[in-house]
Structure 1
């Protein structure tokens, strides 16, 4: 069988710009009082809750392993595991995104076209739970009872390729749909604002040269093609900026 290579360069190509502009999977809600007055809105802070809220231990092991294969650590920077992508995904699944809180989730349930977006009757949380269980059962049959997380990187890549192509039977869960969701959520965890729990230390932004949520770029107007040299800034700002004088 031809070896499948999931490299960081392939993963990043064409994906980062769409994710840093706005993540679809947001578990935390930032709000303020109406009418708005200066310094009276919620002060946004990073989601540093270290504990998993939805995924079981076995499910965490799968997500950590799978996302690290999608975006592995290499000479360009840390991978998904170091950037806390699995924790980011867990916190989204535990919140409104996981239960499809703002989605239309009624029938009919006819199989949709690729252009019609998400068509499953399962919420994202339910899809993760059902798909991971089915994948680990499938892997266990052919690998002496091992789970996905216990496979070698090359073996994991074969399983992920089967998911992406839709060849793997997940007992009622569409494999291609799950892979697309896993891929999208991995990108979000790598490149969305750190306030949502992923992109630890803004490593994803630093890797691609994204400046973040800076308020003023006047000094850089017209400097086309030049790499921005300043550090990235998140929605929560930088420590010195949040002090009221």
Structure 2
């Protein structure tokens, strides 16, 4: 299941509307204002995995590159940092369902009602990744998902997406749907969260990011925005203004 990049982009706008990405506080006071004056969320730190084991992380990176394949112009999901984004999310409030009602009874609801299970995202991924590797190693010389050919990986993902492939001790289709959503969010989120490394996704689609003011371009349709995107905390090459 090799998604075409253009089709992938067209289905992402609605998803981002429901993202668990935090919004920057509004900026008040007189201009000129200083970068970070709105107290933005804390930038994630690169380094060792916080939630994933090394084997889980290798599997997620392989999954990210099948969902968002690299091409000559843009890195794929792995090099864009989608696995890092997801690891930090699962290690935080999103993974533990912080602020949500998580008491029984747990009854299967409608799709519009969202997940209705005892397991939160962190446990869904732990069980789903283990089940995926158990299934992948059957009849494939013991190879786990990350070691399979791209064609075989796509076959497995297509089966999960359609619901025809059943994973042992895990809901494969629900796991795939969560994975697809989270990898998309990691690819398009502000780089402060660990994904969209070097703003590769924003530069690919011409998104200006968190620029303070681009009113001169609001009504200029069908023209490519010429300035580079800006994240919540600015751009890496910017240096703090000295007082």
Q: Which runs of 5+ in 1 are unaligned?
A: none
* 2:83 paired residue among 80, 86, 91: 86
1:75, CA displacement in angstroms? Answer: 3.4
2:104 is the counterpart of 1:107: yes
Partner of 2:20 in structure 1? Answer: 24
2:171 is the counterpart of 1:202: no
1:101, CA displacement in angstroms? Answer: 1.0
1:143, CA displacement in angstroms? Answer: 1.0
2:115 is the counterpart of 1:118: yes
C-alpha RMSD of the superposition: 2.5
Summarize the alignment of residues 203-218 of structure 1 with structure 2, pairs less than 5 Å apart.
203-218=200-215
- Structure number with higher relative contact order (C-alpha < 8 Å, ≥ 6 residues apart): 1
Summarize the alignment of residues 135-150 of structure 1 with structure 2, pairs less than 5 Å apart.
135-150=132-147
Q: Which runs of 5+ in 2 are unaligned?
A: none
Partner of 2:65 in structure 1? Answer: 68
1:182, CA displacement in angstroms? Answer: 0.3
Using the size of structure 2 for normalisation, the TM-score is 0.87
Q: Which moved more, 1:88-97 or 1:106-115?
A: 106-115
Using the size of structure 1 for normalisation, the TM-score is 0.86
* 1:178 paired residue among 175, 180, 195: 175
Partner of 1:6 in structure 2? Answer: 3
For each residue in 1:137-156, what CA deviation from the matched residue of structure 2 results, as whole angstroms up to 9, or x when unmatched? Answer: 11111212110111000000
Structure 1 segments of 4 or more deviating over 3 A?
38-46, 238-242
